[in-house]
Structure 1
Amino acid sequence: MKKHSGYIPALHYHWLTRWYDPMMRWFFPESGIHANLITQAHIQPEQTVLDVGCGTGTLTLLIKQAYPNVVIHGLDIDAKILQIAQRKARQAGQNILWQQGTATSLPYADQSLDHVCASLLLHHLTRQDKQHMLREALRVLKPGGMLHVADFGRPHDFSMWLISWFMRWFEEIHDNVLGLLPVFMTDTGFHQVVTTAHHRTVAGTIALYRAVKPLG
């Protein structure tokens, strides 16, 4: 399949997009991953949050429901998947600012966001685009702002090593399995890069990361 700007669609093929939410529920502990990501963010009232690569908007909507007073943006390159996200938000009666765009060129001003979240986005991107996305996240975050990432990571036990040995050849997961995401974050200029949690899945370890933009 031809890639668009280094981006691999949800479930790899556009025709599978409609099945994204059921597949995530069946094969990933999505609710636990998202709950941990939201908890680690410590979002405050009136802050501005971006869910980049928001997909069908599950995490975006959960953040808005947990923190009704925040301004939250959901951005994805895929117009079809954004339509699903918009429909879910309308049904839930939540006001979310949706925008089509690319993670490697975020359509937001410098130092305009308090938090950037990226759940299962980075493994869809080439190494170069992973690094571009992290630089863009650093640019749009305010000093002291935080990046929160949930994605495939270095396997944390033997069974996850076996699964990841096979999965690393799919999409752009190999860098993740090698544990390079924290390295990329540090090289970009983020400080206090920490791995906050691990989740076992049928596709391998999902790791949660938190990183902070320096104050000066």
Structure 2
Amino acid sequence: MTEVSSQERDYLPGMGKHYLLPLYEVVHLVSGLAGVHDEMVTSAGLRSGQRVLDVGCGTGNLLRATGKRHRDVELFGVDPDLKMLARAERKLRRAGLRAKLDKGFAQELAFPDASFDVVFSSLMLHHLDTPSKDEMLAEVRRVLRPGGVLVLADAVFHDHGPTKDHLRDNVGDAVPKRIAAAGLTTEPTRMRKLRMFGTVGIEVAKVH
């Protein structure tokens, strides 16, 4: 069984509005995000016994994909939405997987320093305002062990497209630059076009 704990803070829901939560799985299926998650898991280079954290785990799709391919890793997930976490708990249980799920926030991860070998984050970064993005990446750097890996996927926008600051942060090579500024060594961005909602950039970065 998974474990769920709680804390309080404002946040933007995964689908933008709470009432859109029932569409979350439909969007996952029709957009091609499963392929992005498979590539993220491959890119992480997971090994037996490693500890894996998914920041903004939503309904647990990435955790499930990870656990199915690597039954011998420890799975952890953090998300601010208890309804999302409840769905994740049921989904992982049905898949025969065990994970520890916490209500929490990317900007203040409730884990000790150097706790994880791999940190995932999928399509969550663009939900954060500019200061929160930097806080999240600083927290990721803190909880990663030496040699640890961040695998982050997020939407990539074109110049002159977004009108909001938190979306303009994802124009061009802004995301890998932000990750590097947090103290991680980045690899070239891997672009993947979704069947819906444009292009996703997959960033792989390491702690040295």
TM-score, normalised to structure 1's length?
0.87
Q: Distance in 1 between matches of 2:25 and 2:164?
A: 20
Residue among 114, 118, 121 paired with 1:118:
121
Structure 1 residue 54, shift from structure 2 partner: 0.3
Give the direction of change, closer, same or farther, for the CA distance of 1:171–1:91 in structure 2 (3 Å limit): farther
CA contact (8 A) 1:152 1:177 kept: no
Check conservation: 1:8, 1:171, Cα contact below 8 A.
no
Q: 2:188 aligns with which of 186, 194, 210?
A: 194
Tell me the distance in 2 between the aligned counterparts of 1:52 and 1:142.
16
Question: Aligned-pair distance for 1:11?
Answer: 1.1
Match of 2:177 in 1: 183
Contact 2:187 2:205 survives alignment (8 Å) = yes
Which of the residues 138, 143, 151 maps onto 1:140? 143
For 1:1-216, what aligned pairs fall within 5 Å after superposition?
7-26=11-30, 28-153=31-156, 161=158, 165-166=160-161, 168-169=162-163, 172-214=166-208
Which runs of 5 or more residues in structure 2 are unaligned?
1-7
Q: Deviations over 1:31-61 (max 9, x none)?
A: 1101111111110000000011000000011
* CA distance in 1 between partners of 2:100 and 2:204 (Å): 24
CA distance in 2, matches of 1:171, 1:185: 18
CA contact (8 A) 2:75 2:99 kept: yes
Residue aligning to 2:3? none
CA drift at 1:90: 1.5
For 1:171 and 1:20, locate their aligned partners in 2 and report how far apart those are by CA, in whole Å: 25
Gaps of 5+ in 1: 155-160
- How much identity, in percent, do the aligned residues show? 33
CA RMSD of aligned residues (A): 1.8
- Conservation of the 8 A alpha-carbon contact between 2:115 and 2:144: yes
Residues of 1 paired with 2:45 and 2:19: CA distance? 36
Q: TM-score, normalised by structure 2?
A: 0.90
| Mapped partners of 2:82, 2:9: distance in 1 | 15
Q: How many residues align?
A: 201
